[in-house]
Structure 1
Amino acid sequence: MGKEIYESLIQKVDSELLKEKMLRRKELLEKHKLYTEVYGPQSEEFNQVILENNKPRYYKKVYEDVTDQELERLESLVQISLGESTVETNSVRFRGAEVLGIIYGFFSLVIGVFSLASGAIGIGLLVIFFGVSIGVGLLTISHMIRQLNIIINNLNNRDKNI
């Protein structure tokens, strides 16, 4: 008796997870308006019409041809192009504040070294100290924001699963 209840609960949870996954997939497909061009008469299946040079062109939604990986990749590319996401290179992610901190710290270090080389020791040391300090501060703040976003996402996902 207990095993049957346990198996039915597992099936219920699996079906709910599958339902959520399919809803997410449908939202992404609708959001990105994935259509294929079809020439022919308008019908229930081909109901998206665009008039171009007074010639109708019909579009059909293509759901089954897009894999989940392609859809997630498309979503990440759209977010990157809109500036809503991170720039990803070989699994190393840089956010705007991190890039700014690296650039600022590097140029401050270069300016400080040149100041030291030209004999302005006090100014050179100050530029190096403040430049590197501000650069490290920007990196730290960006890292803290990233960790906070991870915590918030985990809490939201936990609340959805309850």
Structure 2
Amino acid sequence: MFTIMLWVFFQTLNTQEPRWKLESSLIGTNPGMGFRPHPPGENVESTLIWYNGSNSENFQYWIDALNSFLEVYRKPGLTPGRGQNIYNCDYDRPPSRGQVCDVDVKNWHPCTKENSFNYHKSGPCIFLKLNKILPFLVEFLVLNHWNLSRVRQELDVFEKFDERMNK
């Protein structure tokens, strides 16, 4: 009986897009952003990534976590649909509906498996992960003169801070 109920439930699911969208969904209209690698299970409440860069055993967990996260990009057969919807995109050739761009993770130097994601140089790579919101409609922000001058002031402050930090 349970198997039949489960089968009926799965027949109601749409594999292309979620049933609840935008305001009706749990995350609403705000895209969520996460990061990888996640901390170990025993430290799951923390968002801190800490390690000793001179001890490879100390940062191996972070490398393994990133390898696991990026495995689906290295082996397209692991993606939903076994990678049949992967398309070689370019800025001039976007994917058509239902397709996704092929991503070559080997081009992300220094953030590559071969380079231990730069953890050995105390410059760890961290990947940001955005949740997809369907149907996402871009709302353009129109800056008036006042806003634009304020943005310029804030950029000046940031540039001065950046100059001091890079001395």
Q: Give the shorter-chain TM-score range.
A: under 0.3
Structure number having the greater helix percentage: 1
TM-score, scaled to structure 1: 0.22
Larger Rg: 1
- Larger RCO: 1 or 2 (CA < 8 Å, sep 6+): 2
Structure number having the greater strand percentage: 1
